[in-house]
Structure 1
Amino acid sequence: MTTADVSTSGTAGPAGRPTDRTWLVAVAAALWGTDGLLRLPLAADLPSGTVVFWEHLIIVAVLSPFVPRAVRALARCGPRVWLAVLIIGGGSSALATALFTAAFQTGDAITPLVLQKLQPVFAVLAAWAVLGERLRSGYALFAVPAIAGAWLLAFADPLDIEFSALRAALLALGAAALWAAGTVLGRLVSTSLPSRDVTTLRFTVGLPVAAIIVAAQGNPYTVDWDNAVGLGLLALIPGLFALSLYYTGLRATPAARATLAELAYPATAVVIGVSFLDETMTATQWAGLVVVVAAVTALGWHERAAKRRPVVVPPEPVSTGGRE
């Protein structure tokens, strides 16, 4: 396997061709779309911070046998990876969700949705600055339709959008930036740590941050047994299982491509909402759904078949610390 092969995706398939896992990132993001089906009944009984805290607690309990090994692997890495893991766990996993929820609590439901659509832009810029990923012109053929489709999907009338409230805007921008950072830094640490360790560290670091958020909001830590099943399913399906797939896929997927594959999340969430939560969609939202699905599917197909890929990744540095 040549250095060029490794620089494209991190692994190699048959005949030395780099293995692409954009599709696996999309599958993981689609599983995140089931979040609403499980979270909505819990939101009626529990504060959002309490739900996030229990999600982390349940996952850390399940992964507890792997925590010592993950911590040892992290200790063999450098300060750059330590900082990345801290941001992923404390920022992208716990704080971003709290910021996004707080943005909605201002009473302005439009502003967070509008500004969240900047997440792919943040991710692409961060991937260029942090990872050295370079985009070819072909990237726009997938990025522009995908982001436009996500915009159509978010709003019943995409031409009649009014947003205000500086506080809501800043909170939503903070959440979008942290989620984008999670994509980019997840790709960064995946070159030094196995995907299982990245998943373990994300929730282990995120747990104390989630606990601090609950305390800061003055919410209770305790929940009733009636919510135990819902919390368990929420933690294990769109939480642990989806994140495990995500980091496995991200290890072989440049961040600039992964952020588009993650748009499978809102597409699946809409399908779940219409099918199970009695939501309705306008014609433009249906059009947006089709565009997003088509763009993400085409991106995955292109990366498996094309000789010239739209994202150029520099060669990974030689590192043995923390890798299997």
Structure 2
Amino acid sequence: MVNVRGWILSGHTNPRSLGGQTVNRWSHRTGNAVVLAAAVLWGTAGTTASLEDIAPPAAQAAAWRGVLGAAALLLATVAAGQLRALTAMMRGPRRSWLVCAAVAVALFQVAFFTAVHLTGVALGTVVALGSAPIVGGIVRALTTGRPPSPRWAFATTLAVAGVALLLLPTGERAADPLGIALAAVAGAAFAGYTLVLQRHRALGDRLLPTTAAAFGGSAVLLSPLIAFGDHGWLESPAGVGVALWLGLVTAGLAYALYAAGLRTVPAPRALTMTLAEPVTAVLLGLLLLGEPLTPTGLAGLLLVSGGLAAAVRPPSRWRTSDPPPPQGSEPVSPASRSPEPRGGERG
């Protein structure tokens, strides 16, 4: 029987190494499931930060989410016995990649919450996450010289078409140009963060400590926003609950799940699957915040759902379109190689 906890904490990036077609099928579906779970949790962030009488300033929401998320991910790394991998990674030549990931995470937090404040939860989230798969696919194609798979192109086109329908004006609230631009910046930052994680995966690094390191760096960048911000929203228990949900659940738990999913889900497909986040945000905005949903918006949700279904459909012969290299296929210098964990556990 396959151990679910062992899969999440393990470093086996190739499903075939787990033994047989049945495990490949299970690993593929589990990877898809945890990425989708992360996207759904992310979809609650904008709504939580916009609740009436509790809503924190955008900069405060970004800062507290980054700092508390970093603390949660560090604790998860320690609990998984991967602290040595984290410290070795921060001392080694991978630091430049981690700095890029930290800047991307910090930029995403600030740009996203500001966009949500200016444009509303539904529109800000739709633009941010709708642009991420496009940016990720283009950047990956340019850097690797390999075009995305036809299945990815079909799924992403379908989902982005749905996003375009969700962007149509409702007549209730005019779209703020600055908010739209910041949402697109957030999408590009998230795509960059995902591609950095994919790079670390290809080099054999553990993705949980990689995520913790990225969030730790972003927390340093975002901490001045806490020091000089307005903390009045934290004076009520509801405000504290919002901060904890943003940091521990939509950041710590969600990004840990995303890192686990990226062990078996290629980055282009994972970015397409994160379009479940704007679907969640639109539905929550409709149900909790009273944001309107037009017939074209409903059609957009259906198209996005169709694109997600195409993205998560198992590939033929249970092979991903971008399988990780087999162990030892890419040389890694001894100085940059993360130490093996004790007890035979790969993390």
TM-score where L is the length of structure 1: 0.78
- Contact 1:111 1:164 (8 Å CA) reproduced: no
Q: Which residue in 2 is equivalent to 1:4?
A: none
Q: Which residue in 1 is equivalent to 2:137?
A: 124
| Residue number among 177, 181, 184 corresponding to 2:195 in the alignment | 184
Amino acid of the structure 1 residue aligned with 2:89: L
Displacement of 1:260 in angstroms is: 0.5
CA distance in 2: counterparts of 1:144 and 1:244, whole angstroms: 28
Distance 1:164 1:229, change over 3 A: closer
- Contact 1:131 1:188 (8 Å CA) reproduced: no
Q: Which residue in 1 is equivalent to 2:10?
A: none
CA distance in 1: counterparts of 2:229 and 2:295, whole angstroms: 40
Q: Does 1:259 align with 2:259?
A: no
Distance 1:41 1:195, change over 3 A: same
Amino acid of the structure 1 residue aligned with 2:222: A
CA distance in 2: counterparts of 1:271 and 1:107, whole angstroms: 16
| Residue number among 10, 13, 17 corresponding to 2:14 in the alignment | 10
**More moved, 20-29 vs 251-260:** 20-29
- Contact 1:263 1:292 (8 Å CA) reproduced: yes
Pairing 1:1-324 to 2, within 5 Å after superposition: 10-12=14-16, 14-15=19-20, 17=24, 19-20=27-28, 21-41=31-51, 44-65=54-75, 66=77, 68-75=83-90, 77-78=92-93, 81-91=94-104, 93-102=105-114, 116=128, 117-130=130-143, 133-156=146-169, 171-191=182-202, 192-213=204-225, 219-220=229-230, 223-226=234-237, 227-303=239-315, 306-307=316-317, 311-312=321-322, 315=325, 317-319=330-332, 320-322=337-339, 324=346
CA distance in 2: counterparts of 1:26 and 1:187, whole angstroms: 17
CA distance in 1: counterparts of 2:141 and 2:323, whole angstroms: 9
CA distance in 1: counterparts of 2:32 and 2:198, whole angstroms: 12
3-state DSSP of counterpart to 2:314:
helix
Q: Which residue in 2 is equivalent to 1:3?
A: none
Displacement of 1:105 in angstroms is: 6.8
**More moved, 183-192 vs 282-291:** 183-192
Displacement of 1:149 in angstroms is: 1.0
- Contact 2:197 2:207 (8 Å CA) reproduced: no
Segments of 5+ residues of structure 1 without an aligned counterpart are 1-8
CA distance in 2: counterparts of 1:269 and 1:124, whole angstroms: 23
Corresponding residue pairs, total: 306
3-state DSSP of counterpart to 2:97:
helix
Displacement of 1:141 in angstroms is: 2.1
CA shift digits 1:29-49 (9 cap, x unpaired)? 112112233222388453221
Segments of 5+ residues of structure 2 without an aligned counterpart are 1-12, 341-345
- Contact 2:118 2:176 (8 Å CA) reproduced: no
3-state DSSP of counterpart to 2:338:
coil
Amino acid of the structure 2 residue aligned with 1:206: S
Identity %: 23
Displacement of 1:63 in angstroms is: 4.3
- In angstroms, what is the RMSD of aligned CA positions? 3.5
- Contact 1:55 1:234 (8 Å CA) reproduced: yes
Distance 1:157 1:41, change over 3 A: closer
**More moved, 280-289 vs 226-235:** 226-235
- Contact 1:137 1:310 (8 Å CA) reproduced: no
3-state DSSP of counterpart to 2:196:
helix
Distance 1:11 1:43, change over 3 A: farther
CA distance in 2: counterparts of 1:260 and 1:197, whole angstroms: 24
CA distance in 1: counterparts of 2:116 and 2:170, whole angstroms: 19
Amino acid of the structure 2 residue aligned with 1:187: Q
Displacement of 1:185 in angstroms is: 1.0
Amino acid of the structure 1 residue aligned with 2:257: L
Q: Which residue in 1 is equivalent to 2:9?
A: none
CA shift digits 1:25-72 (9 cap, x unpaired)? 122111211223322238845322112222233233344454753532
CA distance in 2: counterparts of 1:210 and 1:140, whole angstroms: 35
3-state DSSP of counterpart to 1:34:
helix
CA shift digits 1:288-315 (9 cap, x unpaired)? 1111112212321233xx2487834573
Distance 1:231 1:308, change over 3 A: closer
Distance 1:131 1:188, change over 3 A: farther
Amino acid of the structure 1 residue aligned with 2:14: G
CA distance in 2: counterparts of 1:278 and 1:38, whole angstroms: 14
